[in-house]
C-alpha cells in the first residue's frame, strides 16, 4: 500500500507535466485518487478537490470522476486492470472485516 502523502506527491508531479495523452493520465490519476472509505488511505478532501478540478480541465467527465467523490467498488474490468488478470471462475474478492 502506498501512503496518501506519497500519492499526493505523485499527483502534484503529474499536474506539472505536459500532456500528450490526457486520457491515460486521467485514468491513472482517478485510480490513484479514488476514495476507499478508509480515512488513512484517502487523500485529504481539499487536495482531492484540486485533483477533480484539474481532471475536469483535462476533459474528464462526471462519470469518470465519480470514484473521487464517493467510494465506489471496483468493477470487474477495473479489478482485472488493477490485479493484472481475471480471477478464476467462482473466486470473488471481498473486503476484510475490520473487527
Q: What is the pLDDT of residues 12-43, one digit of tens each?
A: 999 998 878 888 899 999 999 999 888 888 99
Q: Which residue has the cell 500519492?
A: 7
> How many domains does the chain contain in total?
1
Q: Give the residue among 15, 3, 13, 78 at the shortest CA–CA distance from 51.
A: 15
pLDDT for 96 equals 57
Domain for residue 71, yes or no?
yes
Taking each helix axis from N to C end, the angle separating 45-57 and 4-15, rounded to the nearest 10 degrees, works out to 30
Domain for residue 65, yes or no?
yes
Q: Which residue has the higher pLDDT, 52 or 84?
A: 52
Domain for residue 95, yes or no?
no
* Entry pTM: 0.72
Q: Which residue has the higher pLDDT, 97 or 64?
A: 64
Per-residue confidence at 92, pLDDT binned at 50, 70, 90?
low
pLDDT for 48 equals 96
Amino acid at each position: 500500500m502506498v501512503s496518501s502523502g506519497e500519492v499526493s506527491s505523485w499527483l502534484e508531479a503529474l499536474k506539472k507535466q505536459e500532456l500528450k495523452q490526457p486520457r491515460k493520465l486521467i485514468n491513472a490519476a482517478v485510480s490513484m485518487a479514488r476514495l476507499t472509505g478508509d480515512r488513512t488511505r484517502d487523500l485529504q478532501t481539499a487536495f482531492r478537490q484540486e485533483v477533480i478540478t484539474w481532471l475536469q480541465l483535462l476533459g474528464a467527465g462526471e462519470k469518470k470522476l465519480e470514484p473521487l467523490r464517493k467510494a465506489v467498488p471496483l468493477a470487474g474490468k477495473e479489478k482485472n486492470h488493477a490485479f493484472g488478470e481475471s480471477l478464476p471462475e467462482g473466486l470473488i474478492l471481498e473486503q476484510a472485516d475490520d473487527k
